[in-house]
Structure 1
Amino acid sequence: MATKIIYKHPLAARWMHWINFPVLTIMIWSGTLIYWANDVYALQVGNFMLFKFYPEGFYKWFNIPYRLGDGMAYHFVFMWLFMLNGLLYVLYTFISGEWRYLVPQKGALKESWQVVLHDLGIRKELPSQTKYNAAQRVAYSAIIVMGVGSVITGFAIYKPIQVGWLTALCGGYEAARAEHFILTVGYVLFFFIHLVQVIRAGWNNFRGMVAGFEIVREKDKS
């Protein structure tokens, strides 16, 4: 059985992917340290609370209480690296033409749902794809938009007086803070879904993001 090497991810894309992973993790962790000082968000119906962000045991387990200063210090330093890496990635995709593989095409939502059904084992056939399937295109494009949203809402609550116009654009300080928090929850959900998908796809797919290529086995035609 012959093998074929398929080059998948350019070096620049891989570098920025692996830089963003730990940076975003630090941003979420440090943001949680900041959120602890005023943890007002919860899911509730009327007066009945379904879930509180976060239970007291969560703070104790991760040693979060009384670390507001640490959280602010880490958050305000790593946000610049997060922004720079994101900006370079967006510029790279446009200059290199990689954006053609990322931008959702016509009928992307319908095909994304078909991909979800396939992953759940409900649908047998996977919709045709190029480098990424429709669900990946939607998810990866959405994460870029979320990144822009995090920067905008982040500055709106970081400097609410100096950039008052930006804070007002977000609906005010409290609204900007809620939007920033919701985006963070979105990152966490994306991370876990992405991790599960990587595990499902196997080592060959993971190799593509580490080494830049995949190895495909082909049956001999002879």
Structure 2
Amino acid sequence: MKTIKEKHSVLMRWTHWVNFPLLSIMIWSGMLIYWSNDVYTISLFGHTYFKFFPEWFNKALDIPAHLAKGMAFHFLFMWFFALNGLVYVAYTIISGSWRELVPHRKSFKEAWLVLLHDLHIRKMLPPQNKYNAAQRIAYTAIVLMGLGSLVTGLAIYKPVQFATITWLCGGYHASRIIHFILTIGYVIFFLIHIIQVILAGWKNFWSVISGFEVVNTPKTLNISKDDEQPKES
């Protein structure tokens, strides 16, 4: 028998889908800023052996180094990104759904089993709840990464006004490096997340849109009290 079960709340779905275009704009505008001062290279004795974004990469995307435009978009949408993240975190705390998302003591061990299962090395399905161990770690990590991006972003945005934050991040240059590494982390998370969605199938994807999932429940037999009692011969 098929029944409809609520899987994701409205607020969770809204913050999830709003975050995708916000992060895309933040990454795009951040790349405009970065291309205006492409400083991350591997050099030795005055010779550059590796440039993180080589010239062919910049030309392939056909996005010029527009520093002012990149900063305008980046510093505007960062507030929407921060607000969306704040709403999400507040909701998980108030609703108590953080218990389903935060990793527990056995999560890292179980996450390894999830990886082995996804790679078809291990046949047995690891422990499953609403979110498996790997999802718990990934979703918690992305929230912490968002916080890290906000803090380091403020350190880069106003290094004098937020001098204490900049100092805690290790200085302006260190803040920029951490901010850059976190951006690479978002891209990797996106790619893995999309692959996982494809592997999970349309049913799982649709539940994040509608909030509901159709599940198969076993039929129950209704036995009357008369049937439970032995009949006299």
**Shorter-chain TM-score category?**
over 0.9
Query: CA-to-partner distance for each residue in 1:103-138, whole Å, 9 max, x for gaps?
Result: 001111111111001000001112212110000000
Find the counterpart in structure 2 of residue 139 from structure 1. Answer: 138
- How many residue pairs get aligned? The number is 220
Instruction: Name the CA distance, whole Å, in 2 between partners of 1:80 and 1:32.
Output: 18
Query: CA-to-partner distance for each residue in 1:167-195, whole Å, 9 max, x for gaps?
Result: 11100111000000000000000000000
Find the counterpart in structure 2 of residue 163 from structure 1. Answer: 162
Are 2:33 and 2:65, in contact at CA under 8 Å, matched by a contact in 1?
no
Query: CA-to-partner distance for each residue in 1:35-68, whole Å, 9 max, x for gaps?
Result: 001112246899783x532121121122222311
Unaligned runs of 5+ in 1: none
The equivalences for 1:95-174 within 5 A come to 95-174=94-173
Percent same amino acid among aligned pairs? 59
Evaluate the alpha carbon distance shift between residue 43 and residue 215 of structure 1 in structure 2; reply closer, same or farther with a 3 A threshold: farther
**RMSD (Å) for aligned C-alpha atoms:** 1.9
Query: CA-to-partner distance for each residue in 1:63-120, whole Å, 9 max, x for gaps?
Result: 2223111111110110000000000100000001110100001111111111001000
Unaligned runs of 5+ in 2: 222-233
Instruction: Name the CA distance, whole Å, in 1 between partners of 2:127 and 2:43.
Output: 41
Find the counterpart in structure 2 of residue 53 from structure 1. Answer: 52
Query: CA-to-partner distance for each residue in 1:152-179, whole Å, 9 max, x for gaps?
Result: 0000011011111111110011100000
Find the counterpart in structure 2 of residue 214 from structure 1. Answer: 213
Structure 1 moving runs of 4+ over 3 Å: 42-49, 217-222
Instruction: Name the CA distance, whole Å, in 1 between partners of 2:3 and 2:135.
Output: 24
Amino acid at match of 1:213: F
Are 1:114 and 1:123, in contact at CA under 8 Å, matched by a contact in 2?
yes
Instruction: Name the CA distance, whole Å, in 1 between partners of 2:66 and 2:199.
Output: 37
Are 2:4 and 2:214, in contact at CA under 8 Å, matched by a contact in 1?
yes
Instruction: Name the CA distance, whole Å, in 2 between partners of 1:59 and 1:18.
Output: 28
Amino acid at match of 2:30: G
Q: Give, in angstroms, the shift of residue 6 of structure 1.
A: 2.1
Amino acid at match of 1:151: L
Find the counterpart in structure 2 of residue 175 from structure 1. Answer: 174
Amino acid at match of 2:190: F
Larger gyration radius, structure 1 or structure 2: 2
Q: Give, in angstroms, the shift of residue 217 of structure 1.
A: 3.7
Find the counterpart in structure 2 of residue 66 from structure 1. Answer: 65
Instruction: Name the CA distance, whole Å, in 2 between partners of 1:41 and 1:213.
Output: 45
Instruction: Name the CA distance, whole Å, in 1 between partners of 2:10 and 2:220.
Output: 33
Find the counterpart in structure 1 of residue 194 from structure 2. Answer: 195
Instruction: Name the CA distance, whole Å, in 2 between partners of 1:80 and 1:71.
Output: 15
**SS of match in other structure, 1:54:** coil
**SS of match in other structure, 1:9:** coil
